[in-house]
Amino acid sequence: MIPPDARRDLTATELEDYVGRLAARPELWAGRVSHDPAARVFEELVRDEHLAVWLICWMEDHDTGFHDHDLSQGAVAVVHGAVHEDRLRFDGSRRRRTLRRGETFSFAAADIHRVLHAGEGPAVTLHAYSPPLWRMGAYEVRRDGTLARHSLSYAEELRPLEAA
């Protein structure tokens, strides 16, 4: 169990446990769900010195692009629909897993991944970051195969960066 007043940052395992338990309490977030075909809808549910929690609503074609979380580890629980998580490999191939309602996953600050809507119908996910997300790296895979990292404030909505 996570102490509600943890006076420290949480580990990826603790974050995954947290979002799993939050997923089981829809009365705490279901009223914030809304969908927009143009872009993912973000709702910040919790923010304190050590933890930030978002509800994210997905529709078809919504895609974060490849990114990292700089200094924050994180965890995701899928509470409606499904999303893919892709990991970027150096040889250009992608490792994909599909996560459905009731499933959770976590990632370290250094991991580079991409999350995108999967399947039919809207999806809803819960995301927890510790320490609260501050900056991110968004990755661009250029046509010649080289990789570029763009430093972003967490306030910037992640989008796929097109090949130049």
Partner 1 sequence: MSRIDVHQHFWPQDFVELLARRARPPLLLRDGDGWCVRLDGEPDAPLPPAAHHPVLRAEALAHDRVDVALLCMSSPLGVEALPAEEARPLLDSWHDGVRALDGRFGHWGAVALDGAVPADVDAVLDAGALGLSLPAGALSSPGRLERAGPLLEALERRDAPLLVHPGPGLEDRLPGAAPALGLPQWWPALAAYPAQLQAAWLAFAATGRRGHRRLRVVFAALAGCAPLHAERMAARGGPARAVGDPLTFYDTSSYGPRAVDAMVRVSGVDVLVHGSDRPVSGAPADHGLGRAAGAALFRVNPARLLGGVTVRPERRLEAVA
Q: Which residues are at the interface with partner 1 (CB under 8 A)? A: 1-2, 4-5, 7, 18, 21-22, 25, 28-29, 43-49, 52-53, 132, 134-135, 152-157
- Residues contacting 142, CB < 8 A, separation 6+: 148, 163, 164
Nearer to partner 1, 61 or 157 (CB): 157
Nearer to partner 1, 146 or 153 (CB): 153
The distance of closest approach from Cβ of residue 82 to partner 1 in the complex, given in angstroms and rounded to an integer, is: 23
Torsion over CA: 159, 13, 24, 99 (sign): positive
The distance of closest approach from Cβ of residue 94 to partner 1 in the complex, given in angstroms and rounded to an integer, is: 26
Q: Which two tokens stand for residue 73?
A: 């580890």
The beta strands (E) that lie in the chain are given as 41-47, 52-58, 67-68, 73-80, 82-88, 94-100, 104-107, 113-118, 123-130, 135-141, 147-153
The distance of closest approach from Cβ of residue 92 to partner 1 in the complex, given in angstroms and rounded to an integer, is: 28
Nearer to partner 1, 126 or 141 (CB): 126
The distance of closest approach from Cβ of residue 71 to partner 1 in the complex, given in angstroms and rounded to an integer, is: 9
Nearer to partner 1, 101 or 135 (CB): 135
Q: How far is CA 104 from the centre of its chain?
A: 11
From 35, 36, 115, 33, select the one nearest 75 (Cα to Cα). 115
The distance of closest approach from Cβ of residue 140 to partner 1 in the complex, given in angstroms and rounded to an integer, is: 15
Nearer to partner 1, 94 or 131 (CB): 131
